[in-house]
Structure 1
Amino acid sequence: MSKLEICGPPLVLKHLEIEFCSGLESLKVSVPSLTSLSVTSLKGFSLENVPMLVDVSVHIVDDNTLLDRLFHLLSCCISQLQTLHVSLDNEDISSAELDELWELPQMPKLKKLFIEYCVRGDKSLVRLAPVIRASPSLVEFVLHHNWYLYPREDRQQRNEYAIKIPHRHLKVFEFRGYYGCSNDAGLLGYILEYCVVLEKIIIDPWFKLGNNDLEIEEVEETARKTAKRELAPQVPQRIELVIL
């Protein structure tokens, strides 16, 4: 099957998952009753007439799709989404491409955002700040940073990418893949300063890349110690800090 259309008012479909269909070249979805959608490819993807869609999960595995292109494809429902899970397995994202996140559309009803991505080098995590700005009602933000063990650069990150506007709804920030370098610290510093009602920070140093279990354990333990030594003193008492 190379083309698939899931369309029509007679359908009472609420949940749709299309995963790892590598031969699919064209996908059209138009289902008024649909509430949740999960896909692993945006190749030939078309979405329309989904007034009930509030939960979207996209795990990109077959192209270089970036967040700005993804949100363009979701333009028909972006203003109504409540939960968005985006996984980008692309280590070659350029700084210029990350800068395009400044043009993201508003997601006024989004409550939970999960972003998983993989980049090499020293690209600033603070560049993700526009995603927070575009989600004024965001309550929970989960970032899973899949970084490569080698090379691992630890350069001082510039904060001119940060949008210095208080966010008044974000209560929970979970950082998976925390390493403890200046890049991580820059993003956490931004969260602490501008997410003014933050109640909880979860630090998870879990590291999934690599073949040496002992080496991975050492990396994770070093990250935990760094969080306790450097991050904990910066967190106000009103915020619960959980280090896994």
Structure 2
Amino acid sequence: MFDPFLCIVQLFWVQPSRKEGPIQIIKHPLDLKHKHLKVVELSGYYGRRCEDELVAYLSHYAVGLEQLIIDPRNNTSIPCVPMFDDIERSETARLCDKQQLPKLVPKHVKLIIL
């Protein structure tokens, strides 16, 4: 559903599959723009193609976007001590994010990678 007055989006990823291939932007038939969406926070971001496509979509359609916050940590509602694999995965994701995300995000959008 399209909401032109959408102001904030928060997404929490839970193990989506990682696929290879070119990044595609999903096209709206009416080319509708989100003018009021200012901040997007993606938690659990790991640089999967579907996540990169979401960033590309937001870059194209969220014309009012001011801030994109990327948190590669796997945040869940259950507090726990991060395991070594989780820490290593977060560090790998953070490195990939710093390399590929600036190419997808417009210059006027403040990109914050936690």
TM-score (norm 1): 0.40
Gaps of 5+ in 2: none
Out of 123, 138, 149, the position equivalent to 2:6 is 138
2:38 corresponding residue in structure 1: 171
Shift of 1:219: 0.7
Gaps of 5+ in 1: 1-129
1:215 corresponding residue in structure 2: 85
Q: Is the Cα contact below 8 Å between 1:202 and 1:243 reproduced in 2?
A: yes
Amino acid at match of 1:153: R
Q: How does 1:10-29 map to 2 (within 5 A)?
A: none
Q: Is the Cα contact below 8 Å between 2:97 and 2:113 reproduced in 1?
A: yes
User: Cα RMSD (Å) of the superposition?
Assistant: 2.5
Structure number with larger C-alpha Rg? 1
Partners of 1:186 and 1:165 in 2: how far apart?
A: 17
Out of 8, 11, 15, the position equivalent to 1:147 is 15
Amino acid at match of 1:178: Y
Partners of 1:136 and 1:234 in 2: how far apart?
A: 22
Q: CA 1:237–1:159 in structure 2 vs 1: closer, same or farther (change >3 Å)?
A: closer
Say which structure is richer in helix.
2
Q: CA 1:181–1:160 in structure 2 vs 1: closer, same or farther (change >3 Å)?
A: closer
3-state SS in 2 of match to 1:228? helix
Shift of 1:232: 1.7
Which runs of at least 4 in structure 1 moved beyond 2 Å after TM superposition? Answer: 155-164, 233-237
Q: CA 1:221–1:158 in structure 2 vs 1: closer, same or farther (change >3 Å)?
A: closer
2:106 corresponding residue in structure 1: 236
Say which structure is richer in strand.
1
Out of 50, 58, 62, the position equivalent to 1:191 is 58
Amino acid at match of 1:202: I
The size of the alignment, in residue pairs, is 108
TM-score (norm 2): 0.81
Q: CA 1:160–1:225 in structure 2 vs 1: closer, same or farther (change >3 Å)?
A: closer
Flag the structure with more relative contact order, 1 or 2, with Cα contacts below 8 A and sequence separation at least 6.
2
Q: Percent identity?
A: 32
Amino acid at match of 1:147: Q
Q: Is the Cα contact below 8 Å between 1:156 and 1:183 reproduced in 2?
A: no
Q: Is the Cα contact below 8 Å between 1:157 and 1:183 reproduced in 2?
A: no
Partners of 1:147 and 1:185 in 2: how far apart?
A: 15
